[in-house]
Amino acid sequence: MTAFDQVVRDVEEHPLNRSLAVSLRIARAIRDDQLATWIRLELMGYLADNPAMNNNTMVPEYRAVPGQWCDDYLRPLVLDDPKLQFINELRLRQGVTELEGLASAKGLLSMRAMEFSELIRKGLDVEVSLFQFHPAAVNQVLADIKLQLLDQLAARNEAIAALPELTKPAESEILHLKPGIYGVSVDLKALWRWLFKFGGAPLRRRASSLKSALSRGFAFRAEMSRRAVRLVADLYNNMYIQLPG
């Protein structure tokens, strides 16, 4: 089985967050910076503190979910003009692991997107504060991201097929990410231990703040801080990251 067959099977059989992590390794192996950047955006989110973001990065259209704007009293914004129906959709910026957490939720999801509610206030002279949507819409976004990933891999079939067979990393080389109530969680103690075992001096220095957090009583499976998100993104250069599934 070629490396291309392996990675396509992984995408088809495993959760998307795991498939993207494996595909990132493939992108680095074939020296495809464009693919690697796209994967980092999908994994870590289209957020300002993601190093893969730049001033020209746009949240893709396939990340849009239909929903309903409303105010703090849950009174909906009613748009009679069909040309304005695009207002009642929002492009989700969260990373894939957080999206998978949202997709498993029960009932309506609510999100505050102040920059868009301000645009609505200025353009339509109405006050809205919440955007509500169904978890099923997030499932569709995840399905569209998976299709995008398969298309991206298929376009690089020859380069990927020329790679040697993929090998599974040792357990000691794996960090575990999982969905959490605020997005993504990481075992900070395991991350600190890994850095001092496998990382170089610069990574060890960056680990010191994580050790300090642990000494102040953070849970081993503490919620991942923005600083830890950036650090884990850098670790993709050196290791596997084991995701749920």
Residue where a domain stops, chosen among 91, 124, 139: 139
Give the contacts of 161 (CB within 8 A, at least 6 positions apart).
2, 3, 4, 5
Answer yes or no: is pLDDT of 195 > 50: yes
Query: What's the total number of domains in the chain?
Result: 2
**Residues 185 and 115 occupy one common structural domain:** no
Sheet strands (E) in 74-170 = 89-91, 109-111, 130-133
User: For residues 132 and 70, is the Cβ–Cβ distance under 8 A?
Assistant: yes
Same domain? For 174 and 222 the reply is yes
CA distance 39 to 96: 10
CA distance 2 to 71: 53
Q: Which residue has the higher pLDDT, 86 or 188?
A: 86
What dihedral angle (degrees, nearest 10) is formed by the CA atoms of 52, 49, 198, 221? -130
Give dist(CA 160, CA 165) in Å, integer.
10
Supply the pLDDT for residue 3. Answer: 79
Task: Compute CA 42 distance to the chain's CA centroid, rounded to the nearest angstrom.
Answer: 5
Overall pTM surpassing 0.75 (yes/no): no
Q: Tell me which H or E stretch contains 186.
A: strand 183-186
Written as six digits, the tokens of 140 are 């569709």
Least confident interval from 4-18, 87-101, 230-244: 230-244
- Provide CB contacts within 8 A for 123, sequence distance 6+: none
End-to-end Cα spacing for the chain: 22
Residue at 29 is within a domain: no
Instruction: Check whether 32 has a pLDDT greater than 60.
Output: yes
Residue 84 lies in a domain: yes
Co-location of 234 and 194 in the same domain: yes
The domain boundary, picked from 120, 139, 158, lies at 139
Residue 52 is which amino acid? A
Q: In this structure, how many other beta carbons lie within 10 angstroms of the beta carbon of residue 4?
A: 19
Domain boundary among 117, 139, 161: 139
The domain in which residue 103 lies consists of 61-139
Residue 80, Cα to own-chain centre: how many angstroms? 35
In a domain, 212, yes or no: yes
For residue 216, the one-letter residue type is: R
Q: What is the pLDDT of residues 131-183, one digit of tens each?
A: 999 999 999 999 999 999 999 999 999 999 888 766 554 444 445 555 554 44
pLDDT, tens digit, 9 for 90 and up, residues 96-143 = 999 999 999 999 999 998 888 999 999 889 999 999 999 999 999 999
At residue 180's C-alpha, the angle toward residues 177 and 183, to 5°, is: 90
The reply to whether 208 falls in a domain is yes
